């Protein structure tokens, strides 16, 4: 149960450990129970539909590439932003820090509405559309929607990771001949690898499950702007509950595999004894 | 070798300076002061980690006041050593050499010389988290010395060690400094440590350098009563000095 070296445990310690693990067990057990319920409901025909449908295959591919693109973009922003928020104090720091959290607290539906209004009702949005940056009802709009609702998770997590890096390590790197860039890439960045992986995993999970803003901003066009959550919506709206649940299980499975791979590939301990 | 001219630096309510100091090549200088007197801030100013408000810093004839830390030619060992936890001991020591784009063979050779000098070859494949305080101190010292700095700045380098080990490590610091001939500023608040390593000592109080001299001069003739009390010189008696019936300077002297 314990990680690494463990102290001598009496009955009080065992009771404490059992108490904490009880909550973990209840949570994980409930989640597995719900998934098992879905599995029992799904019949063979629904599974075959999911495995053979071209639309669902395309939706799966759309979900995968848009989610990974969103995660990469989110980390591209999260790393410099997290560093800036962690290391520099400037006028408007508090405001910037708060705005980063906004997409976490407002309903995802609002993100879709806001994007739709921006690209259709504002001069700048319409101009962007005219110069080729049209996102509404386009596959690239899926990435934009996912980015808006999920990037904050990456930024917040990476910022916390930078907060935990001792500044003296960066200072020593500076005195040893590295510039600020060298210190960042050789010291700070390797030390926040765990935070980057965690932020990436959260972003991927959120992006994979994004639905409400997509419905508003890119619509639910079969085979064009369809991701797996859209498929679930479309199937259940026409009464194919078994197929909808089978797609949901596919979504859960793919997301779980992606998250496990991310953790296995990037989660090896960097600091050794 | 190093000249600090009227350095002034303010942070919050605390003001360092103006501090002026000049060290000869190969000198081992100890900056002594109570915690909070500004010793570490002074070192950080010399390193370039704090931009000074006014004054000038000259190292080996070069005005480095406006140069970045990486351009100053210094070796810096902070308190608790700040070893890079994601790098092995060998990688920690060779870290500064990589910034100088030396070949792998040259890096291995220089790291080898440094570890032999400090007797830590057996630690090369270890990781910082598994090292004892004394081992960390030696690795940090090797990392700072391996880049052949013009000046070595040590911020309380033995304060994290236990009492029994301090004297031994101080003797080793002095030996290594003599062998390398590196001009050194060593910050501490321990008198025993000061007596072992210092060629000269400066007493810093509330951001001001109140006395500079050899350890003998400092401990035998403190600048004033407050310095005497800090240095724990016994028999501090109040009185007035006079010559031929005329007071010399009054006060506690």
pTM (whole model) above 0.90: no
Q: Are A204 and A262 in contact (CB under 8 A)?
A: yes
Closest-CA distance, B2 to chain A, in angstroms, reads 16
Collect all residues of chain A within an 8 Å Cβ-Cβ radius of residue B98: 186
Burial of A268 (C-beta count, 10 Å sphere; 0-12/13-18/19+):
exposed
> Would you say residue B250 has pLDDT above 80?
no
| Number of Cβ pairs < 8 A linking chain A and chain B | 72
CA distance A24 to A18: 10
- pLDDT, mean of residues B102-108: 93
Collect all residues of chain B within an 8 Å Cβ-Cβ radius of residue A172: 76, 78, 82, 84, 143
pLDDT of residue A220: 83
Question: Which helix (H) or strand (E) covers residue B14, if one does?
Answer: strand B14-23
> Would you say residue A173 has pLDDT above 90?
yes
pLDDT of residue A260: 85
**The token pair that represents A168 in the structure block:** 């003296």
Q: Are B30 and B50 in contact (CB under 8 A)?
A: no
pLDDT of residue A179: 94
pLDDT digits 0-9 by tens, A248-265: 999 899 888 888 887 777
Does the beta-carbon distance from B99 to A176 stay under 8 Å?
yes
Q: Where are the alpha helices (DSSP H) in chain A?
A: 11-41, 44-52, 54-87, 93-105, 108-121, 123-130, 139-163, 167-175, 180-183, 189-191, 193-209, 212-217, 228-237, 241-266
pLDDT of residue A271: 61
- pLDDT, mean of residues A58-75: 94
Average pLDDT of chain B, as a whole number: 89
CA within 13 Å, CB half, B122: 3
ipTM above 0.90, yes or no: no
Residue of B nearest to A187 (CA): B84
Q: Which residue in A120, A116, A117, A146 sits closest to A211, CA to CA? A: A146
Closest-CA distance, B234 to chain A, in angstroms, reads 39
pLDDT of residue B117: 86
Does the beta-carbon distance from B68 to A178 stay under 8 Å?
no
Residue of A nearest to B101 (CA): A177
pLDDT of residue B113: 92
Does the beta-carbon distance from A175 to B68 stay under 8 Å?
no
Q: Is B12 on the interface with A (CB under 8 A)?
A: no
> Would you say residue B244 has pLDDT above 70?
yes
Does the beta-carbon distance from B78 to A171 stay under 8 Å?
yes
CA distance B177 to B197: 9
Q: Between the CA of residue A121 and those of A114, A145, B77, what are the distances in Å?
A: 10, 17, 59
Q: Are A212 and A48 in contact (CB under 8 A)?
A: no
Residue of A nearest to B69 (CA): A175
> Would you say residue A273 has pLDDT above 60?
no
Nearest to A177 among B70, B85, B130 (CB): B70
pLDDT digits 0-9 by tens, B191-211: 888 999 999 999 999 999 999
- Domain segments of chain A as ranges: 43-266
Angle of helix A54-87 versus helix A228-237 axis, rounded to 10: 130
Cβ neighbour number for residue A90 with a 10 Å cutoff: 8
> Would you say residue B159 has pLDDT above 70?
yes
pLDDT of residue A1: 47
Collect all residues of chain A within an 8 Å Cβ-Cβ radius of residue B95: 173, 176, 186
Protein fold of A43-266: MetI-like fold (1.10.3720)
> Would you say residue B177 has pLDDT above 50?
yes
Protein fold of B2-221: Rossmann fold (3.40.50)
Going by the DSSP 8-state scheme, the letter that residue B248 receives in this structure is: S
pLDDT of residue A269: 55
- Domain segments of chain B as ranges: 2-221, 224-253
Block residue for tokens 């479309």: A234
CA distance A254 to B229: 72
**The token pair that represents B2 in the structure block:** 């190093």
Collect all residues of chain A within an 8 Å Cβ-Cβ radius of residue B70: 174-179, 182
pLDDT of residue A77: 97
Asked whether the bond before B18 is cis by omega within 30 degrees of 0, the reply is yes
Q: Is B99 on the interface with A (CB under 8 A)?
A: yes
CA distance A181 to A162: 15
Identify the band that residue A2 occupies on the pLDDT scale cut at 50, 70 and 90.
Answer: very low
pLDDT of residue B252: 45
Average pLDDT of chain A, as a whole number: 90
């Amino acid at each position: 149960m314990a990680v690494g070296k463990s102290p001598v445990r009496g009955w009080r310690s065992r009771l404490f450990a059992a108490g904490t693990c009880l909550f973990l067990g209840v949570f994980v057990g409930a989640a597995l129970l719900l998934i098992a319920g879905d599995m029992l409901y799904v019949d063979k025909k629904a599974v075959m539909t999911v495995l053979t449908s071209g639309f669902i295959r395309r939706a799966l591919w759309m979900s995968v590439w848009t989610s990974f693109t969103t995660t990469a973009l989110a980390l591209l922003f999260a790393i410099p932003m997290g560093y800036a928020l962690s290391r520099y104090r400037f006028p408007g720091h508090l405001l910037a820090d708060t705005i980063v959290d906004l997409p976490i607290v407002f309903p995802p539906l609002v993100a879709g509405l806001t994007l739709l209004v921006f690209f259709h009702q504002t001069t700048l949005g319409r101009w962007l559309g005219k110069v080729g940056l049209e996102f509404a009802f386009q596959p690239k709009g899926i990435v934009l929607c996912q980015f808006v609702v999920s990037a904050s998770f990456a930024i917040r997590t990476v910022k916390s990771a930078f907060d935990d890096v001792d500044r003296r390590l960066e200072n020593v790197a500076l005195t040893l001949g590295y510039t600020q860039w060298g210190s960042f890439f050789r010291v700070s960045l390797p030390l926040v690898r765990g935070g980057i992986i965690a932020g990436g995993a959260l972003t991927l999970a959120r992006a994979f499950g994004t639905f409400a803003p997509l419905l508003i901003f890119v619509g639910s066009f079969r085979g064009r702007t369809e991701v797996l959550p859209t498929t679930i919506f479309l199937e259940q709206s026409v009464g194919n509950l078994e197929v909808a649940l089978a797609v949901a299980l596919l979504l859960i499975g793919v997301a779980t595999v992606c998250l496990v791979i991310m953790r296995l590939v990037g989660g090896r301990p960097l600091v050794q004894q | 070798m190093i000249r600090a001219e009227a350095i002034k630096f303010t942070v919050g309510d605390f003001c360092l300076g103006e501090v002026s100091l000049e060290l000869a090549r190969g000198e081992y200088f100890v900056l002594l002061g109570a915690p909070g007197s500004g010793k570490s801030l002074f070192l950080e100013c010399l390193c370039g980690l704090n931009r000074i408000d006014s004054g000038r810093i000259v190292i080996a004839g070069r005005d480095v006041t406006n140069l970045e830390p990486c351009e100053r030619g210094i070796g810096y060992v902070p308190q608790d050593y700040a070893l890079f936890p994601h790098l092995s001991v060998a990688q920690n020591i060779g870290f500064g050499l990589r910034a100088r784009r030396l070949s792998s063979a040259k890096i291995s050779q220089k790291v080898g010389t440094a570890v032999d000098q400090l007797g830590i070859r057996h630690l090369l494949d270890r990781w910082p988290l598994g090292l004892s305080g004394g081992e960390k101190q030696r690795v940090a010292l090797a990392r700072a010395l391996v880049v052949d700095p013009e000046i070595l700045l040590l911020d309380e380098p033995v304060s994290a060690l236990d009492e029994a080990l301090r004297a031994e490590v101080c003797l080793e610091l002095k030996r290594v400094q003599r062998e390398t001939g590196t001009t050194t500023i060593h910050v501490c608040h321990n008198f025993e440590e000061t007596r072992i390593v210092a060629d000269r000592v400066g007493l810093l109080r509330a951001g001001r350098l109140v006395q500079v001299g050899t350890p003998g001069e400092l401990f035998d003739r403190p600048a004033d009563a407050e310095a005497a009390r800090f240095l724990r010189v016994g028999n501090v008696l109040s009185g007035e000095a006079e010559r031929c019936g005329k007071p010399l300077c009054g006060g506690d002297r």
